[in-house]
Amino acid sequence: MLWLVVYNGALAAGWSLVLYLTISTVIQGGSSQQVYQASQWPLKISQTAAIMEIVHSASGLVRSPLFTTVVQVFSRIWALWGIIELAPSSTIRGSVTVLKFQGYKLELSLISLLVAWSISEVLRYTFYVFKELKVSPPYPLLWLRYSTFIILYPLGVASELTMAWLARPTIKDTRPLSVQLPNLGNFAFDYYWACWVIAVLYIPGLPQLYMYMLTQRKKILGGRNAGAKKQA
C-alpha cells in the first residue's frame, strides 16, 4: 500500500536524521543538552508520528498485535512528552552510571536512549518499506532487524526508566498535569504517582514484549536458516 510505503520511508528517514545528529554531536564533543537541541525536532516528529501505528493496527491495515503496538508506542510517547519534556533540566543533563571499569564507565542517559531508539527504528522502518514493496530485504537488514533488539530493547527500556527516575524530583515538586481538589468534577489526579504506576507496569511488560520479539526472531531467522540447510 502506497501510504504505508510513504509512512515507513518517512520515519526511516526521520530516525536516520536523529541518529546522525546524535552521533555527530557526540563525536564533536557535544553534551547531552547539545545533542537534544540538535535532534529534538526530528525526534519529536518521528516519535509522535508513531501514534499512527496504533491506527494501522486497530484498523487492520497491518497485522501487528494491537496490544503490543499500544504498549510500545505509549511507553515511548510517555518517555518523550510525559517525562523528558516535562523535566528537561534533570533528564537532558542527568545520567546514571551503571558500570565502571578501568577508567571507563557505562551510563544510562538521554544519549543512550536516543541511540537505542534511533538504531532500532531505522532498521524497523526500513524493513517495513521492503515488506510493503513486496521485495525481499537484504539478509543483513533482516538479521539486524531481528537481532539488535536483544541489546537495544533492554538498553532503551533501561534508559526510559532512567529518564523517569531523573525527572522524579522535578515532577514531584511541580506536579504537572495533576488535578487537585476541590474542583467541579470532584476528581483528583496526581501525575507524580501516575508515573510510578507506569514505571511499575514496565516489569510485566518488558518480558512479554521481549519474548514476543524472540519468538519472531526464531520464526523469521530460524525458518530461513532451516530452509538454507535443507537446500544444501
Task: Work out the burial of residue 199: count CB atoms within 10 Å of its CB; fewer than 13 is exposed, 13-18 middle, 19 or more buried.
Answer: middle
Among candidate residues 85, 107, 153, 210, the one labeled active-site is: 153
Task: Work out the burial of residue 230: count CB atoms within 10 Å of its CB; fewer than 13 is exposed, 13-18 middle, 19 or more buried.
Answer: exposed
pLDDT digits 0-9 by tens, 94-145? 999 988 888 888 899 999 999 999 999 999 999 999 999 999 999 999 999 9
User: Do 96 and 109 contact (CB within 8 A), yes or no?
Assistant: yes
Among candidate residues 53, 121, 132, 160, the one labeled active-site is: 160
How far apart (Å, rounded) are the C-alpha atoms in residues 197 and 151?
A: 25
Kind plus residue range of the DSSP H or E element containing 216: helix 191-217
- Residue 107 annotated in active site: no
More confident residue, 229 or 159: 159
**Prediction pTM value:** 0.91
Residues pairing with 109 in the sheet = 95
How far apart (Å, rounded) are the C-alpha atoms in residues 94 and 107?
A: 10
- Residue 85 annotated in active site: no
Average pLDDT over residues 211-228: 76
How far apart (Å, rounded) are the C-alpha atoms in residues 45 and 219?
A: 32
